[in-house]
Amino acid sequence: MASRSPGFGALWGPGMEIEIRSDRFVVDGRPLASLREIHRLPEEAQRAIYRTLIPDFLLERYGIDPLTLCDPAGRPLVRIRGENAEVEIEVWRRVDDRDPLVYLHFAETLHNRIIVLLFMTNDPESPRFDVDRDREGRPTKYGTVSRNIEAEIAAMQFGLAPGQVRRGLRLTKHMLPLFEQFIRRLGHDLFLVEPLAYHAAILFERYGCGYIEGRTKMEWIHREFQPGGVLHRRLDGSTPFRQPGMERTVRGRSWAIYDGILGEPFDGIRMYKRVGHHAGICTFPDAAW
């Protein structure tokens, strides 16, 4: 399959015309509407479609060829794995780096909605904190299996949020419009998000997401972190992650919640983002990060 301006315009294959238009992904005149349909296309066409999710300036910043998505030696630095109803996209600075610059994992529900399962970025120039491995080298799985307390304390003191191994690249404000455009091109008007941590939910609020489930829980958390509230009382200094005053910042609250201050896992939060619309929800007014 040859390509004219990979990622945009028309792609031609034997008996197949694929267009990446400003409003829709179109194959032989028929608009695509699902990830499953994308994954039935030739690999180059899939790659061109998912390439629309990667900001051009990010590739330029790290010397990644915008056409081949490779380094100057021809080694691939963008990995796209799409199968059935799931997609994983990784963007790497170098092939031997430990962490990708960007990791995006999303899928399609049984009701044909796109849901973001995980999005994270890593600044390769910043210090790394091994919160993802315990002292025996085993994966912590975001603290659900085991923890590396020493690394967590160091990460928290450096200014990171739970789950971060490095400082992020602050790409959400750049990638969210690209993702909304991707959703629009599939003919959808919204997508779903499942935040894994308190700070992620607050961040998605700031970018216009609303709640399908969990808004009452988020409002309860804010209320109980106020003076006299049950969570405020539990900031008793019993662990490094439950220090008085942590209720005043998003990261402080998130570390306390990660440390188990709720008495239950942080789950049951499902959010949505309507394309081109800001939900206007804020469960932590005047929050400092």
Per-residue pLDDT tens listing for the chain (289 residues): 333 444 445 555 556 788 999 999 999 899 999 999 999 999 999 999 999 999 999 999 999 999 999 999 999 999 999 999 999 999 999 999 999 999 999 999 999 999 999 999 999 999 999 999 999 989 998 888 999 999 999 999 999 999 999 999 999 999 999 999 999 999 999 999 999 999 999 999 999 999 999 999 999 999 999 999 999 999 999 999 999 999 999 999 999 999 999 999 999 999 999 999 999 999 999 999 9
Torsions phi, psi for 174 (to 5 deg): -90, -35
Which residues have C-beta within 8 Å of that of residue 287, sequence separation ≥ 6? Answer: 202, 249, 250
Residue 224: both structure tokens together: 């109980």
- Please state, in angstroms and rounded to a whole number, the distance separating the CA atoms of residues 196 and 214: 12
Per DSSP, what are the bridge partners of residue 79?
Answer: 90
Alpha-carbon distance of 194 to 270, in angstroms, equals 5
3-state secondary structure of 200: helix
pTM value > 0.75 = yes
